Amino acid sequence: MNWNNITYKFKSSGIVIQLIVINVIVFFCTYLGSFLFGMQQYDLASWFVLPDGFNEFIFQPWSFITYAFVHFGAFHLFFNMLWLFWFGPFVLNLFSTKRFITIYLLGAISGGLLYVLAYNLFPVFAGSRGYLLGASAAIRAIVVFIAAYSPNTRLRLFIWDIKLWHIAAVLVVLDLIQLPTSGNAGGLIAHLGGAMFGYLYATQLLKGNDIGAWFENFLEYFTTKKAKKKKTPFRKVHKNNNVSEVKKKSETTLDNQKKVDAILDKIGKSGYESLSKAEKDFLFKSGND
């Protein structure tokens, strides 16, 4: 399997599979990289996870998005990708790929913002330091968005048909219940941030207000600009407006070809030595042209 074939399959696989592949690749890069370089995974990915301190994340603002593609645990990655695989198609059945990406990335940003605010505003986190990673907030945004937009849509789970809003409600309630005791309060707060954004986006969309339109426009501008750069450079074509001259050249070429064919026939019948000096010179000249 060549690289072009792999690239084509990736591009044609759809956004859900693409996101899963990207997350898996990043996981293995950090997992194997930390082993090969003798480093902790955090040290290797520290510029891509989201820190909780204001004086840290202002120097790496991109981490509000990149943290959502970093996983340190195989089970964390597996279950996040499983939820994405289950719920992604529900959104894509109703909306475009750009809207899906908008929900996903803005959900990640919302989860990151709530995480940072919580760690800097609430006294319970005053003595703790941490960092945020994983796609959970982005995926919570996807799950809650489609559950709020189409609450009575059903998902087949083994032998039961469960409404989407039931699943979303259970997830949010579990996050709230576990918040004081789980040991992963920062991650759960990020889940809630993503869920809040997903719910707000869906309810506003049902009212006719697209609060993610600005981000879709940004994506449109970015992809259009990128596509223009990949276009073939402009080639200047020189037109010959002298039609009679072009016609004359074509007729000359045709006559020369007829002479060449006649000479080649003669060679086929009587051999090369049967040609006159003029015929040999003409054949030689035509071959060079």
The 10s digit of each residue's pLDDT in 67-90 is 999 999 999 999 999 999 999 999
Please count the other Cβ atoms lying within 10 Å of the Cβ belonging to residue 133: 26
Q: Model-level pTM?
A: 0.76
Asked if the model's pLDDT at residue 91 lies above 90, the reply is: yes
pLDDT number for residue 60: 92
Alpha-carbon span 14 to 200, nearest angstrom: 26
pLDDT above 70 covers a percentage of the chain that reads 82
Averaged over 215-228, what is the pLDDT? 78
Q: Burial code of 64-97, b = ≥16 C-beta within 10 A, e = fewer?
A: bbbbbbbbbeeebbeebbebbebbbebbbeebee
pLDDT number for residue 286: 67
- The pairing of strands 50-51 and 160-163 is unpaired
The confidence band for 183, taking pLDDT boundaries of 50, 70 and 90, is: confident
Spatial contact of 112 and 192, defined as CB atoms under 8 Å apart:
no
